[in-house]
Homo-oligomer: A and B are copies of this chain.
């Protein structure tokens, strides 16, 4: 049994508190968030692969690598603390220490995260005043405030929670995230913070998170860019008293639940992508290897020609098969079928069966799928992307000028 909770968030999970406030990095919007658990949590995390890593990435990555127990995640928006050198690193450590001191815990129990402008030093005094204030605001209903405070120019709040039935009871997973925002000078930053009351050892938790991220957050693309600040964190406080052990049915159930909530979070980022008007699922089936399926799905999801055609509801299957062909994957295009939702478009042997009217109806929806069947093996992969609109270019060309 899996059940999404209405208005669910990180504090829908027992034992977690959160808060989100305006501390003064941004002019008036909320810009500081905290997630907190009284009980020390096992913590798993995945971090940007960009060589240019913001200071908070380096600091939080070390905590996860050391398998430290964690009690808090402190996040600021409005400033990424990236490309800020030694001063930026020291600033991040100072903020972490201040937060830990105020909470009466060790600095190593506080994960930190930033998103926003790069190449500018943090307003350190402002943030430390904010830290002192936000801890007084911690509440078991503060999840949505935190979800708001991590946004940059996202247009929508992204907050979810899911109940998962395991063999001995129900556990909950909550999550908040942010997607591509526009800051000067910016890039899209993807942040996601998840909580659960399941009791899961750190190595198992880390493995579960990696598997889920690889199937969800790592399968979305707005414009193929990877930020300096991308981060996904999952905290498990064990408050439910329900243990999830390796190689059990409960492990599989938990993984399915984690995939479900991460998929919803990932899709919510795409739907709110810059200039996006459509959510497009790209699925490749019956490939010889996962690598082949994944390369083709990724190549189609990242192709500006496919994404612009989707924007114009143009049933341009030639761009789809060409994007598949340039992916580097091993397949024979002569065996390939292409579908829009369930509508066959091209069948093996380049047989074109496209019904333009039916295709147009599908491509004009705000949510549809492009599927390829390679007829060569048993492997599949799915990516999610958005269309590429004139608005995307407008947002990204003209923000500063």
User: B-contacting residues of A (Cβ < 8 Å)?
Assistant: 49-53, 82-85, 118-119, 184-188, 223-228, 302-305, 308-309, 311-319, 321-327, 329, 331-334, 346, 349-350, 352, 388-390, 392-394, 396-401
22 contacts between A and B (CB under 8 A): A51-B325, A51-B326, A51-B331, A83-B333, A83-B346, A85-B349, A119-B318, A119-B346, A185-B314, A185-B315, A185-B318, A185-B319, A187-B319, A187-B322, A225-B322, A226-B322, A304-B392, A308-B393, A312-B396, A314-B398, A388-B397, A392-B393
A325-B50 contact in complex given A186-B319, A318-B119, C-beta closer than 8 Å: yes
**How far apart sit A311 and B397, CA to CA, in the bound complex (Å)?**
6
**How far apart sit A398 and B388, CA to CA, in the bound complex (Å)?**
12
Q: Contact at A396–B304, with CB atoms within 8 Å? A: yes
Q: Contact at A313–B185, with CB atoms within 8 Å? A: no
Q: Nearest Cβ in chain B — how far from A57, in angstroms?
A: 11
A50 contact set on B, CB distance < 8 A: 322, 325-326
Q: Contact at B393–A311, with CB atoms within 8 Å? A: yes
Instruction: Give the residue name and chain of the B residue nearest to A399 (CB).
Output: B314
Instruction: Give the residue name and chain of the B residue nearest to A308 (CB).
Output: B396
Q: Contact at B324–A52, with CB atoms within 8 Å? A: yes
**How far apart sit A253 and B369, CA to CA, in the bound complex (Å)?**
53
A318-B388 contact in complex given A225-B303, A304-B224, A393-B308, C-beta closer than 8 Å: no
Q: Contact at A326–B223, with CB atoms within 8 Å? A: no
Q: Nearest Cβ in chain B — how far from A330, in angstroms?
A: 8
**How far apart sit A304 and B224, CA to CA, in the bound complex (Å)?**
8
Max chain B C-beta neighbours (<10 A), residue from A325, A388, A401: A325
Q: Contact at B397–A186, with CB atoms within 8 Å? A: no
A51 contact set on B, CB distance < 8 A: 324-327, 329, 331-333
Instruction: Give the residue name and chain of the B residue nearest to A230 (CB).
Output: B326
A184 contact set on B, CB distance < 8 A: 316
A314-B187 contact in complex given A305-B225, A326-B226, A393-B389, C-beta closer than 8 Å: no
**How far apart sit A303 and B304, CA to CA, in the bound complex (Å)?**
11
A388 contact set on B, CB distance < 8 A: 393, 397
**How far apart sit A313 and B396, CA to CA, in the bound complex (Å)?**
11
A397 contact set on B, CB distance < 8 A: 308-309, 311-312, 314, 388-390
**How far apart sit A127 and B207, CA to CA, in the bound complex (Å)?**
61
Q: Contact at B84–A316, with CB atoms within 8 Å? A: no
**How far apart sit A331 and B400, CA to CA, in the bound complex (Å)?**
29
A311 contact set on B, CB distance < 8 A: 393, 397
A312 contact set on B, CB distance < 8 A: 396-401
**How far apart sit A321 and B298, CA to CA, in the bound complex (Å)?**
23
**How far apart sit A186 and B194, CA to CA, in the bound complex (Å)?**
43
Q: Nearest Cβ in chain B — how far from A65, in angstroms?
A: 20
Q: Contact at B352–A313, with CB atoms within 8 Å? A: no
Instruction: Give the residue name and chain of the B residue nearest to A364 (CB).
Output: B401
Instruction: Give the residue name and chain of the B residue nearest to A322 (CB).
Output: B187
A350 contact set on B, CB distance < 8 A: 83-85, 119
Q: Nearest Cβ in chain B — how far from A90, in angstroms?
A: 14
A325 contact set on B, CB distance < 8 A: 50-53, 226, 228
| Residue among B186, B187, B309, B322 making CB contact with A227, cutoff 8 Å | B322
Q: Contact at B223–A305, with CB atoms within 8 Å? A: yes
**How far apart sit A390 and B388, CA to CA, in the bound complex (Å)?**
10
Max chain B C-beta neighbours (<10 A), residue from A53, A119, A332: A119
A223 contact set on B, CB distance < 8 A: 303-305
A352-B303 contact in complex given A325-B50, A400-B316, C-beta closer than 8 Å: no
Q: Nearest Cβ in chain B — how far from A365, in angstroms?
A: 15
Q: Contact at B321–A83, with CB atoms within 8 Å? A: yes
